[in-house]
Amino acid sequence: MSSISMEKSASMGLKDLLGYLLDSDKVDSVLTMRRIPETGAWDLALISDSGNLGEAEPLAPVMTVNAGKELSSLSLSGKRIAAVLKPCELRALIERVKREQGSLENVLTISHTCSGVFPLEQAADGSMDELLPKYEKVSSMGEIPSSVRDTCKACQHFIPMDSDILLSAAATQRPGEGCVLYLGSEKAEEALKEFKGNRDDRVFDPSSLDRTAAARKKERDRLFTSMENDCSGLDGLLNVFGKCVGCHGCSRVCPICYCALCDFESMNFDYNLPYFEEHLSRKGALRLPADTVMFHLGRLTHMSFSCVGCGMCSDVCPVGIPVAAVFSRTGERTASLFDYVPGRSLKEEIPVMVFKEEEFSDLG
């Protein structure tokens, strides 16, 4: 496998690559973050005309929607798409492909080392622009920017696991240094055959990010310990989820929650008068909407082992519940029961779809 280096910033190099892919008809469209010039707002955009790439900001530290979720349905269209994905978006895509919600066949995945994304609130109100220079400086030193999502600070998988093209960005790129594309598949070699740049056979060296990894590990331990204290026992559940207004926004934006007929949205939870009366006769009072705590516990049992920790859920919560922190902490434990890492590889099967005859002998 080869590498291509360019005397450009990572962002410019990546835009050149996207332009090349479109102009040389290697792909039909590209999926990238973009900034609308008139309003300054960020969005995720599918672009088929390279003339529209001017507004693209492929490395913007913003996630308006988990791109893996959007891409998975697009990937079934049969069109060839090159997508710039953050590591957790790539893992989300792979989890969805495992659930037959997408395909990697016509997709060229371009991913990069990630320093985290800003909460949507700061991206929307413009305060992110002031914080951006500091974000870049701090992450180039291998430290964690204080302004990113909590789950980003604690994320252990900030290096893409299995992308066609890996770009070293953020923390590994010192100011003034060129950008390097590491090709990781035959598909990438084929697509970039005529792409200009200095060819080499360098391989990405993750040890250049050891400092970041250590800082992330420390932050993860801190976040998980504080969750353990806040969210323990029934009182802890009420403490954390007691504010829930039952909007189900966290599951709508979740890349893993793909069920079109979600149990919690179904008639099963469409309560009627006899239910309320039965509940009142037992407890004497009833909180509405009902079963908000059960909704979160149910989701934890249904999909936590596949949680990629992107943090969309916390970001959209109107009452500020740290959903992502709870899910990444519990998810890490449920996944480790099966030595599973969500989105690591297509070859690893979803834990609840398979079994071994000899396991969990202590149960039952």
Partner 1 sequence: MNKEFVPRITSFLCKWCSYTGADLAGTSRLQYSTSIIPIQVMCSSRVDPVFLLKAFLSGSDGVLLGGCHPGDCHYETGNYHTRRRFAIVKEVFESLGLESGRLKLSWISASEGPKFARIANEFTEEIKLLGENPARKSIFL
Residues that bind partner 1 (CB under 8 A): 228, 231-234, 236-238, 242, 263, 282-287, 291, 293-294, 297-298, 300-302, 304-305, 326, 329-330, 333-334, 337-338, 351-352, 355-357, 359-360, 363-364
Question: Nearest approach, Cβ of 282 to partner 1 (angstroms)?
Answer: 7
Sheet holding 81-85, edge to edge: 42-47, 29-35, 81-85, 107-112, 165-167, 179-183, 3-6, 198-200
Q: How far is the CB of 228 from partner 1 (least distance, A)?
A: 8
User: Which segments of 169-306 does DSSP mark as H helices, in order?
Assistant: 186-191, 210-230, 233-241, 249-253, 273-283, 292-303
Joined together, the tokens standing for residue 347 give 């070859």
Q: In whole angstroms, how close is the CB of 359 to partner 1 at the nearest point?
A: 7
Closest alpha carbon to 307 in 275, 270, 332: 332
* Smallest separation, CB 70 to partner 1 (Å): 28
User: Closer CB to partner 1, residue 38 or residue 357?
Assistant: 357
Identity of the residue, 178 or 236, whose beta carbon is nearer to partner 1 in the bound complex = 236
Residue closer to partner 1 by CB (options 218, 355) is 355
Q: Helix, strand, or coil here: 111? A: strand
- Establish whether the linkage from the previous residue to 255 is cis, with ω within 30° of 0: no
Select 37 or 364, whichever has its Cβ closest to partner 1.
364
- Answer positive or negative: Cα dihedral of 328, 331, 333, 335: negative
The one-character DSSP state at 56 is: B
**238 or 245: whose CB is closer to partner 1?**
238
Tell me the closest approach of the beta carbon of residue 267 to partner 1, in angstroms: 14
**DSSP H or E segment with residue 35:** strand 29-35
Question: Closest separation between CB of residue 65 and partner 1, Å?
Answer: 27
- The single residue listed with the structure tokens 């934890």 is 300
Q: Smaller CB distance to partner 1: residue 163 or 304?
A: 304
CB of 304 to partner 1, least distance (A): 7
- Count of CA atoms in the C-beta half-sphere (13 A) of 272: 3
CA angle 176, 178, 179 (to 5 degrees): 130
| Dihedral of alpha carbons 257, 349, 354, 97, sign | positive
Give whichever of 20 and 241 is closer to partner 1, judged by the CB atom. Answer: 241
